[in-house]
Every structure is written in structure tokens, then in C-alpha cells.
Amino acid sequence: MEKRLFSRVCIPVLLLLWAPLTIQATIYNENGSSSSYNLLNGDVLYINSGTYQGDIETFEKGALIRVMSGATFQPRKINFPHGKIINYGTILFDFPGASPSVRFEPTEGFELDNFGKVRIVDETFTHSTETWQNRFGATIHFEAKTELNPG
């Protein structure tokens, strides 16, 4: 009887106390630089103002990039994004200097919730389970070959 009480009460309590120690989400505030980021599950990158022109090396599912009104998100590269972008400003996906076969290629779990302007200069290829929302008055402009594969 005592073993059951321990396993039913103490173990869940210990797990609840231990879990926050293993999840170390980071909040980044960006005001227009060329810093590089590795965005992991739970991380948030706020593009508050200016033009961000750095590298997004990792963009895991559960990570968030939020582009505020008046700010521009123009990364030099963004490797197979899985996370979510909420855009109230401007996004420009144009990867100059990259090989000719470069394309914007979001992968499973990617979400774009657009309230502003998005311009994608490079080829775009989606896989299956992305979510693209273009809100009233917002625009998404594709300038190159685009393949939207159903999920």
C-alpha cells in the first residue's frame, strides 16, 4: 500500500518540480542586427524594430519569431524552418550570394501567421503539414517558382 501511495503521489510531484529545470526557453529581443540564432522549442525571437539580417541556424517546432509593426525580418538564411512566425511588419526572404538552387523550404510544423507584408524572392517548396495564414489586408508575394504540396 505504501509503495502505491509513493508512486502515485511522490513521483508525479517530483516530475513536476524537475520539468522546468530541463526546459530552458530563451527570449531574444532584436532591434536590427546581423546576429545568428539557434531557436529551440520554447524560444522566442522578437524583431522589435529595424531590419534583422542575421542567420537563423536552427528554427525548431515550438519556437516563435514575432515581427513587430515597423520592423523587417530579412534573414541571410533560415535552415528548414519548423517553428512559427507571426508577422505584423515586413518579411523578406531573399538569400543573395547563395547557390542558384537555394529556395525557401519550410518543413513539417512550420506556421506563418501574416498580418503584414511577406515577399519571397527565392523558390518556395513546401512539404506537407505547414500552415500559412494571410490575414485581411496582408500580402504574401511569391516572385519565383512555388510548389505548395498538400498535406
Q: Which DSSP string corresponds to the chain?
A: -HHHHIIIIIHHHHHHHHHHHH----EEEESS----EEE-TT-EEEE-SSEE--EEEEE-TT-EEEEPTT-EE--SEE-S--SEEEESSEEEE--TTS-TT-EE---TT-EEEESSEEEE-SEEE--SS-EEEE-TT-EEEE-S-EE----
What pLDDT, on the 0 to 100 scale, is given for residue 65?
A: 98
For residues 123 and 67, give the distance between their C-alpha atoms in angstroms, rounded to a whole number: 22
What pLDDT, on the 0 to 100 scale, is given for residue 99?
A: 55
Read off the C-alpha cell for 31.
532591434
What pLDDT, on the 0 to 100 scale, is given for residue 102?
A: 67
Give the pLDDT means over successive 10-residue stretches in the chain (151 positions).
58 58 80 95 97 95 97 92 96 75 80 97 82 95 82 57
What pLDDT, on the 0 to 100 scale, is given for residue 151?
A: 57
Closest CA to 53 of 80, 27, 72: 72
What pLDDT, on the 0 to 100 scale, is given for residue 100?
A: 53
For residues 55 and 37, give the distance between their C-alpha atoms in angstroms, rounded to a whole number: 6
Closest CA to 73 of 51, 98, 94: 51
What pLDDT, on the 0 to 100 scale, is given for residue 10?
A: 62
pTM here?
0.81
What pLDDT, on the 0 to 100 scale, is given for residue 1?
A: 52
What pLDDT, on the 0 to 100 scale, is given for residue 144?
A: 84
For residues 83 and 142, give the distance between their C-alpha atoms in angstroms, rounded to a whole number: 20
**CB 142, CB 121: distance < 8 Å:** no
